[in-house]
Amino acid sequence: MPMITSNILNNCDRFFVFKGNEILVRNPNPGTVELPQKEVVQKFFEQNYAKDWFFEESKGYFTVILEESVPALQGFCWISLRQLFASSYAFTNLCSRALALLNWRKTARFCGCCGGALQDDKFETARICPFCGSVFFPRISPAVLILAKKDDKVLLVRQNQGNTNTYTCPAGFLEHGENIEACAKRTIKEECGLEVKNIKYCSSQHWPYPDQLLIGLTAEWAGGELVLQRSEIDDAKWFSLDNLPPVPKAGSIVYELIKNFS
């Protein structure tokens, strides 16, 4: 890890401090989130809690990820980044970018061609191999979520791994050779055994867990009966909007898809 200098900190306006997927904020007043100042960040470096860090001067932020063992800090708390998505803070998107890039850096340490240790590129958001010249850009993994409709009902599924009673939309990662529509059709067919038509884009969201772009789509049922892919899906049903099960909260793309249902 390169050495931090006070010059670097002086040139940044915002400081995103992570531990796992949580971000450090001052003990929040209701409805507000305040980030730590550089003096707090400096202390983490002095106490050797920084695992990795980088900054983007053109975007005005500095970010650091800390060891899990970092002790609690008076006047601050850790919150899930998901809590920020529900509000429209000016820095939410930057914060999401910072976490996704920190996640990427964990796996972009050595060259896939020659095994050399990678370094930050000076000009682009990339890692370069000083031995063979290979350049590695951050990975973004597109995934679709599809809200399928049949008459006045929507299809929601409960996933196996979730360990919760929350229902969500069928979702799948884009595969090579597919466009977004083909991915949506395959996902619904694989997970629920259904055909869909009239696939329409609704909205998208960056999702840094670790590196997704979530693409929210709507579709209409075109045929077939529910046959569940049991390795992925625990339950799937058509729900009326006035009788929904627990669904993801505001700030999630599933919430947006359901809210915009018509």
Which string of x and - marks every residue 83-122 that binds Zn ion (by CB under 5 A)? ----------------------------x-xx-x------
User: Three-state SS string across 183-242, please?
Assistant: HHHHHHHHHHCCEEEEEEEEEEEEECCCCEEEEEEEEEEEECCCCCCCCCEEEEEEEEHH
Of the candidates 261, 244, 252, 142, which has an alpha carbon nearest to the alpha carbon of residue 202?
261
Work out whether 132 is an interface residue with Zn ion (CB under 5 A).
yes
In the complex, minimum distance from the CB of residue 257 to Zn ion, in angstroms, rounded to a whole number: 42
* Positions in 141-170 near Zn ion (CB under 5 A): none
Alpha-carbon gap, residue 63 to 12, rounded angstroms: 10
Of the candidates 260, 188, 256, which has an alpha carbon nearest to the alpha carbon of residue 222?
188
* Residue with Cβ nearer Zn ion (113 or 250): 113
Residue from the set 42, 83, 134, 205 that interacts with Zn ion by CB under 5 A = 134
Which string of x and - marks every residue 229-248 that binds Zn ion (by CB under 5 A)? --------------------
Q: Which strand (E) or helix (H) includes residue 72?
A: none
* Residue with Cβ nearer Zn ion (98 or 129): 129
Give SS3 for 34: coil
* Residue with Cβ nearer Zn ion (132 or 241): 132
Rule CB under 5 A: which residues touch Zn ion? 111, 113-114, 116, 129, 131-132, 134
